[in-house]
Amino acid sequence: MLNDRKKKILQLIIEDYISTAEPVGSRTIARKYDLGLSPATIRNEMSDLELLGYLEQPHTSAGRVPSAQAYRLYVDSLIEPGALSDNERALINGWFNERRRSLDEIFQSTAKILSRMTQNVSMVLANRDAGARFRYMKFLPLDEHHAILCIITDDGNVDNCVVEIPLGMRPEELDYLAGKVSRLLEGRELSEIDEELLQIIHSNIAEDKLLFTSLVQSLRRLRNKHMEQKVFLGGTKQLLNQPEFRDVERVRNLLGILEEERVVRDLLKSGEDSGLKVTIGSENKFSGIQDCSMVQATYRLNGKIVGTMAVLGPTRMEYGKVISVMDYLHKYLKTMFEHENNK
Amino acid sequence: MLNDRKKKILQLIIEDYISTAEPVGSRTIARKYDLGLSPATIRNEMSDLELLGYLEQPHTSAGRVPSAQAYRLYVDSLIEPGALSDNERALINGWFNERRRSLDEIFQSTAKILSRMTQNVSMVLANRDAGARFRYMKFLPLDEHHAILCIITDDGNVDNCVVEIPLGMRPEELDYLAGKVSRLLEGRELSEIDEELLQIIHSNIAEDKLLFTSLVQSLRRLRNKHMEQKVFLGGTKQLLNQPEFRDVERVRNLLGILEEERVVRDLLKSGEDSGLKVTIGSENKFSGIQDCSMVQATYRLNGKIVGTMAVLGPTRMEYGKVISVMDYLHKYLKTMFEHENNK
DNA sequence: TGTTAGCACTCCAATGATATGAGTGCTAAC
DNA sequence: GTTAGCACTCATATCATTGGAGTGCTAACA
């Protein structure tokens, strides 16, 4: 185990490196932070820390750089959480209030804020269904062959799509049909509308084959749309602010990976079970981002996963700041969703 | 005026430079393209072209690079349009078919295709209203205090928002009110729903103040939403493929500009009147992109502007290819929209 | 035993000198 | 009008030199 002094020195090295992105030398530590120790002493400690695997030297005459192991220790026990400043909080509130009309926009804002505050790429995976329940459906006539199917959920969301209807079907017939299906589905979560249930509807109301087929198709589509997990990215531009990404080639690699929605989705899903998860460097099993770190938080509402947000950046990341921001966003979103649900 | 030989040489230089991004020397032209001329002759011609302002030399002992004036001539009279290959066409069709459920998705796909095909940043400005006409509106009851206002337009789109309703108002009353307002607005374009018209509605149906206020508010909001011009960006990542953007600083500058939706909107609007517009280098008056070129096309449907698409990249741009792609997309979208409208 | 000053050593990064070569411009001959 | 020949230019690559930041080690000190 490390004694207190070693821990303190390691912490200072990590924090210095995080803010300067330059290898840290013994003189720097002695000069910048008042430890009452000479560079030589610090040098000895650093030498020990290197042997223990916490520090690495890019080359003999450079300073030292924290290893993944050091960051791990830092995140697990050295970090001082530290709340956001009033200023930062005001900034976040301002950004959120800019636009927050729909759920999607809230998630988009979250991604944007996360990346702006942390100067890194952010990702938000939104589980859209979030336990919404079917309330009722209704047809709005459009023309002779088409009507709009509206589905209302208990959170006040409406979804619609155009369905084909048999020529000459009267509005009353449509209303009757809508009522019948509505009674079957009322109160169910959208995720419950599975193939089996659709089959039951089918056999229950086989009065009009054509309409029925298109109705079921539409229901299925709407259900899928609701179930669909959507990925929001933020701050891909911020990447360029990090000295680690001076090299265009590296930027391109990472952006290439982020472009694959499927990959991002898997990446985010991999950490869904734990509330807060920090993955450092090669701890991450996804290829292409093994020289990056990721901080990830999962949100639940009444036990259900609402979404996952993450910040991806170089291992040299302001872990403390990232975690504070996420924490604040978490609380913010929580009240927002709860309010939404009680409406 | 330039004689044919000068034109031919200029064209070859431009095309060589476009494909290699390296200054073109006289030897290169003589070797690569069989003009039956020696490098010396070509050198003389190039010297003339430089005096005439068509070529520039980065430094004495480098080859020559086309000037903005040269690109202008190239675009205006040297370019050979050239259709897309079957392969490319199939690629585009495939990308479009991936997802094209909503208008927004079509525009997003357009941006994506545009950028993938041209290896440059693309922008699409969508005028959402596109001449849609009000058909009718309807209230869908939600709870005691709220209903969902649905507005159906003649292109089959539905828009909705939650409105507050007076406690205890019966569905029939809501239907009556909806019918009344519907009759007033039926057949009008959404853009026509201006403050004046809203006032008329107000004075016509003053039966219930509270409901009325929230109804008008919602109508206004929906109108604005429909009128809103939305910007879709594509291929900001492609930037990094262009040698002109090897320098991270330049990338950052441009991305910073593109991040400002307002700027992009203005940029696109500036070229709305002409069908196809090519702006080369400093011809563009917007600061920050004066070393870029932009190819822009505006789409109309029944005389109304539906949207504008543009490709932004280094002045060394495959103008011919870009124009062909836009042309194809134009036709593609046209049939798509027309089909949409006749549905 | 822990701390520190001193000093030799390492090695990157910056600097400058030199060479290379692509490309031009000019002249004279065809 | 075209072309071969040649001197000239200048960016880029290469290599040696230097300066400095940082380390490791040793010996002295508290």
What is the structure's pLDDT at B100? 56
Query: Å from B317 (CA) to D10 (C1')?
Result: 28
Angle between helical axes of B248-259 and B261-269 (0-180°, round to 10): 80
Q: Choose the weakest-confidence range: A69-83, A154-168, B19-33.
A: A154-168
Minimal CA separation from B258 to chain A, in Å: 10
User: Residue B292 to residues A263, B288, B295: CA-CA distances in angstroms?
Assistant: 33, 9, 10
- Among A139, A135, A176, A179, which Cα is nearest to A154's? A135
User: For strand D, is any atom closer than 7 Å to the CB of B62?
Assistant: yes
List CB contacts of A287: < 8 A, sequence separation 6 or more. Answer: none
Partners of A240 on chain B (C-beta within 8 Å) are 248, 251-252, 255
CA distance A319 to A294: 9
Burial of B311 (C-beta count, 10 Å sphere; 0-12/13-18/19+): buried
Q: Does B146 touch chain A (CB under 8 A)?
A: yes
Amino acid at B125: L
Residues B41, B44: Cα–Cα separation, whole Å: 5
pLDDT of amino acid B343: 44
How many residues are listed for chain B in this entry?
343
Q: What is the pLDDT of residues A7-22, one digit of tens each?
A: 999 999 999 999 999 9
Contact A158 B146 (CB under 8 A): no
Residues A38-65: tens digit of each pLDDT: 999 999 999 999 999 999 999 888 899 9
With cut-offs at 50, 70 and 90, classify the pLDDT of residue A75.
very high
Pick from B150, B152, B240: CB nearest A251: B240
**What is the percent of chain B with per-residue pLDDT over 90, rounded to a whole number?**
42
Q: What is the pLDDT of residue A205?
A: 66
pLDDT in tens, A291-313: 999 999 998 887 878 889 999 99
pLDDT at residue B54, rounded to an integer: 96
Q: DSSP secondary-structure letter at B273?
A: S
A146:B156 CB<8 A: yes
- Chain A CB within 8 Å of residue B142 CB: yes
pLDDT surpassing 70 at residue B11: yes
Q: Give the pLDDT confidence score for residue B246 in this predicted structure.
A: 86
What secondary structure does DSSP assign to B200-261, as a single string? Answer: HHHHH--S-HHHHHHHHHHHHHHHHHHH-EEEEEE-TTGGGGSGGG-SHHHHHHHHHHHH-H
pLDDT of residue A333: 87
- For the cut 70, the answer to whether the pLDDT of residue A88 exceeds it is yes
Position A36 pLDDT exceeds 70? yes
Please name which of A8, A32, A31 lies closest in space to residue A19, comparing C-alpha atoms.
A32
What pLDDT digit, counting tens, does each position of B312-331 carry?
999 999 999 999 999 999 98
What pLDDT, in 10s, does the model give residues B260-298?
889 999 999 888 888 899 999 999 989 889 999 999 999
How far apart, in whole angstroms, are the C-alpha atoms of residue B12 and residue B16? Answer: 6
B64 phi, psi to nearest 5 deg: -120, 155
DSSP H or E segment with residue B187: none
**Neighbouring residues of A342: CB distance < 8 A, sequence distance ≥ 6:** none
> Measuring from the CA of residue B62 to each C1', which nucleotide is nearest?
C23
Q: Is A124 left (phi over 0), alpha (psi -120 to 50) or beta?
A: beta
* Contact call for residues A30 and A13 (beta carbons, < 8 A): no
Q: Is A155 helix (H, G, I), strand (E, B) or coil?
A: coil
The minimum CA-CA distance between A234 and chain B, rounded to whole Å, is 11
- Cα atoms in the 13 Å half-sphere on the side-chain side of A262: 0
- For residue A62, how many other CB atoms are within 10 A of its CB? 13
Q: A187 pLDDT exceeds 70?
A: yes
pLDDT bin (cut points 50, 70, 90) of residue B191 is confident
Give the closest residue to B333 by CA, choosing from B314, B308, B316: B308
Q: For residue B68, how many other CB atoms are within 10 A of its CB?
A: 18
Q: Are B295 and B322 in contact (CB under 8 A)?
A: yes
Distance CA B139, CA A282 (A): 55
Give the per-residue pLDDT at A157. Answer: 76
- Tokens 């709305």: give the residue: B272
Mean pLDDT value across residues A60-75: 95
- Chain D footprint bases within 7 A of protein beta carbons: 2-5, 8-11, 20-26
What does the pLDDT read at residue B101?
Answer: 63
Q: Which residues neighbour B214 within 8 Å (Cβ) at sequence distance 6 or greater?
A: B163, B164, B165
B308/B299 Cα distance (integer angstroms): 6
pLDDT at B49 exceeding the cut of 60: yes
Query: Higher-confidence residue: A312 or B165?
Result: A312
If pLDDT is split at 50, 70 and 90, which confidence band does B304 have?
A: confident
Contact A170, A239 (CB under 8 A): no
Q: Which of B2-6, B60-64, B141-145 has the lowest mean pLDDT?
A: B141-145
**Facing residue for A240 by CB, picked from B135, B156, B252:** B252
Residue in the structure block whose two tokens are 């993944």: A68
- Annotate A64-90 with b (16+ C-beta within 10 A) or e (fewer): bbbbbebbbbbbeebbeeeebeeeeee
Over residues A199-235, the pLDDT tens digits come to: 777 777 656 677 777 778 777 877 777 777 889 999 9
Inform me whether the C-beta atom of residue B150 falls under 8 Å from chain A C-beta atoms: yes
Q: Is the pLDDT of residue B247 over 90?
A: no
Is the CB of residue A287 less than 8 Å from the CB of residue A277?
A: no
Q: Which residue has the tokens 């539905």?
A: B158
Give, as one character, the DSSP assignment of residue A285.
Answer: -
Q: What is the pLDDT of residue A343?
A: 44
User: What pLDDT does A267 receive?
Assistant: 93
Q: Across the interface, do A246 and B248 touch by the CB < 8 Å criterion?
A: yes
Distance A66 CA to C4 C1' (A): 25
Strands (E) in chain B, as ranges, are 55-56, 65-66, 121-127, 134-141, 146-153, 158-164, 229-234, 276-279, 292-301, 304-314
Give me the residue from A135, A150, A241 closest to B150, CB to CB: A150
Q: Which of B307, B325, B274 is nearest to B123 (CA)?
A: B307
Mean pLDDT, chain A, whole residue set: 87
Number of Cβ within a 10 Å radius of residue B91: 15
For residue A270, the model assigns a pLDDT of 87
Helix, coil or strand: residue B338: helix
What gap in Å lies between CA B165 and CA B144, rounded to an integer?
8
Burial code (b: 16+ CB inside 10 Å, e: under 16) for A165-175 equals beeebeeebbe
Instruction: Output the pLDDT for position B187.
Output: 87
Q: What is the pLDDT of residue A342?
A: 52
First to last CA, chain A: 53
| Total H helices, total E strands in chain A | 12, 10
Q: How far apart are CA B200 and CA B31, in angstroms?
A: 76
pLDDT at B39: 92
- Residues in Cβ contact with A265 at an 8 Å cutoff, skipping those fewer than 6 apart: A125, A229, A231
Q: Summarize pLDDT for B95-141 with one digit per residue, the tens.
A: 888 765 677 888 899 999 999 999 999 999 988 665 678 889 999 88
Average pLDDT over every residue of B242-252? 88
